[in-house]
Chain A
């Protein structure tokens, strides 16, 4: 195996071994997405009952939003919590004095983010199909496109969160859970961008998620593919990822100068 890939695999193996030996961690991955889906499933079932056809469409759009947004949330948490696991286990010093490059660390965390997201969200999607007859898989390849765009957005946000942890220490760890909830009102998850005040719309349109959810609504309500939104989502993903990678590398180097890597757990 290529040495670089092997180092990435070493980091992934470390986390897989952890999950194999810690059932509560594994259950926690599925717990919130499934719970969210159940609550929103009942809400949408209620709406569908009240409003008949219109309600059914709205219900599908809401459930689709919940399930896809969980993808972004789990991606963020999968990345940043995997980094925090190294801090919690006081293992970060060993990691940073190994030949693992910062880019390989990021790659390993990104792989863990995808695995954690799939483990968390796919059961919720299957349950939505079983309990509420909402088949998000009907979106087909488009689902993969939307989902991947949100996972990449989760990485970009996670790189920002990890940079803050490098800057402020483990005290910034709550951001790993909370930061994306703060973005939710502007990400057009449950309503179109046009609902937002005019001055907020450019903010929303600068987020990849807004384009994903606009595209999802168009696909679910009209059955058409909004290629423009999909392309915009990926272009913005690339821009945010590059910007956050730059911030991460700056903070990593600054942490090496300050000596923060010696006592980041404190």
Chain B
């Protein structure tokens, strides 16, 4: 059973309540990324707006542009053209103000293995300037069932435990905007379900916005209000999972995904 989770609006928001006025967590305008001039862009004209409190899904096959999109949203990658406004801040001119209120989790980026769970969380509490860091770590440890693991080196944890630690790191600053790259990859169904339930409760209680990239269609159907289907860097369709399933005349989102990935959409629509 989950208990109430912290104050909504993030650690920075708690210190400056005016920033809660932002109603759009993300505004992405005509985003383009071309790695090599002359070759097709990895992301081609992506445009969407994600309101606060929403969970959006980025879906697409390998090479569809999901990772490139997330990297640009996080400021790791400079777009070739277009504009990203995260929590009211232009990501090219003022990305650090936004990054203080955002966070990110991916199974493909690790935490230092030799540091204990508590030490890892302490590092990020400092980097995100979290007030009352020890209390926040204890709170997250209790919420994510990490209390017994706090003194264990991160490298000695199971995949499920590492995912929970990564989630704790991603929530250390009570982010207003959470970007998750395959948050339940390599987890068993029980642990995956636990993480999804936890994320649903967290969003309901804090009102944060979540952008999720996943290959797990069941997860996307369950968690996301809106899905952007990417193919070759372009949004080829979008809508709520139910809308997409209905529009394609399929039984579930997985069948929709396969139609788009295999280019059988027209056939399916007929």
Contacts and interface: CB of A to CB of B under 8 A. Distances in A.
Interface string B105-146: 010111111111001001111111100000000000000000
A256 B33 CA distance: 12
Contacts of B100: 99
B109 A9 contact: no
A10 to B, nearest CB: 3
B109 A93 contact: yes
Contacts of A89: 110-114
Interface residues of A, number: 33
Given A14-B112, A99-B129, A94 B124 contact: yes
Contacts of A99: 96, 99-100, 127-129
Nearest to A92: B109
Contacts of A11: 123, 127
A262 B71 contact: yes
Contact of A101 (B76, B96, B115, B126): B96
Interface string A224-262: 000000000000000000000000000001001111011
A93 B123 contact: no
**Chain A at the B interface: mostly helix, strand, loop or mixed?**
helix
B115 A97 contact: no
B9 to A, nearest CB: 17
Interface in A4-34: 6-7, 9-11, 13-14, 17-18, 21-22
B126 A262 contact: no
Given A14-B112, A22-B114, A257 B126 contact: no
B124 A18 contact: no
A259 B114 contact: no
Nearest to B118: A17
Contacts of A257: 77-78
21 contacts: A6-B129, A7-B126, A7-B129, A10-B123, A13-B122, A17-B115, A17-B119, A21-B115, A90-B108, A90-B110, A91-B109, A91-B110, A94-B109, A97-B76, A97-B99, A100-B127, A256-B75, A259-B76, A261-B77, A262-B67, A262-B77
Would you list the 6 A-B pairs with minimal beta carbon distance, nearest first? A10-B126, A93-B109, A90-B110, A99-B100, A98-B127, A89-B112
